[in-house]
Amino acid sequence: MPTDAHQDAPPTARDACQSIAATLDRLQSVRNEIYASGVMRGASGALRPVWPAGLTRDRGEFLRDAATSIDASSIIETGLGLAMSSSYLLEAALRSSQSAQARLTSIDPGETSVCDDAGLLHLHDAGLTPFHRFFPEPSQRVLPLLAQSGESFDLAFLDGDHRFDGAFVDAYYALQVVRPGGLIILDDVWMPSVMKVSRFLTSNCLCELASEYASGGKPRLHVLRPLATHAARAWDHFLEF
């Protein structure tokens, strides 16, 4: 009995490209709607304002372009929140040369209790769930497990715990999981606690400051490039920061 030759045919490279293009269009459409309305819906159905927690468009584009500059396809972030940063990071991953392996891993223990799962719903509405992995546990528990299992990422975006000790632990483990040539991006470096982490990393030969995003006269994002020599420091190495 004759069969349709196309019925069970595996997806082609052209099909994959068309699918990614459609996802990118949907992503941008959902993002534009959020910016236009200024609100997002949580799992309870309640509307919540995007500002001040949400990422501005120019800040998001800076984040996306930083990821694009290293052709990042595998990205990890601490802090999901409303998933505005997630949207831009996944846009970069889907535009990378390895778009078929695009993946964002997010860690946020407060997504349900604080954000009413608004970020997860945002990514679902934008068609990004297939490219997203989510851990609802604290990052200080998840990151060591990922490092121990040998996972590697092109870029780490740190926007979780903003207390010095929590931000420092996130940065420490980001150094363990970000590949050579990758990037670590610190958000909210206008806060003394986060700026202190950035200064430690750069002063103690762990990273170099690659670029900075500032607005309103304050630094907002630090893009750090891990130094290949950081593992070769003396056992008692320390410089004031």
- Quick check: 5 pLDDT over 50? no
**The pLDDT of residue 4:** 46
**The pLDDT of residue 52:** 85
The pair phi, psi for residue 63, each rounded to 5°, is -65, -45
- Quick check: 229 pLDDT over 60? yes
150 Rama class: left (phi>0) / alpha (psi -120 to 50) / beta: left
Q: Where are the alpha helices (DSSP H) in the chain?
A: 13-37, 57-69, 84-94, 118-125, 139-148, 164-177, 192-203
What mean pLDDT comes out for the span 2-17?
54
74/90 Cα distance (integer angstroms): 9
The closest of 39, 61, 24, 3 to 121, measured between CA atoms, is: 39
The pTM score is: 0.91
Which structural domains are found in the chain, ordered by start?
Answer: 13-232 (3.40.50.150)
pLDDT tens per residue across span 117-143? 999 999 999 999 999 999 999 999 999
The tokens for 105 are: 């891993």
All residues at 6 or more sequence positions from 140 whose CB lies less than 8 Å from its CB, including other chains:
166, 169, 170, 173
The closest of 184, 161, 180, 41 to 107, measured between CA atoms, is: 161
Residue 154 and residue 74 in contact, taking contact as beta carbons nearer than 8 Å: yes
DSSP for 15-38? HHHHHHHHHHHHHHHHHHHHHHH-
**The pLDDT of residue 11:** 57
Top-confidence residue, 97 or 14: 97
- Average pLDDT value over all residues in the chain: 93
pLDDT tens per residue across span 148-202? 999 999 999 999 999 999 999 999 999 999 999 999 999 999 999 999 999 999 9
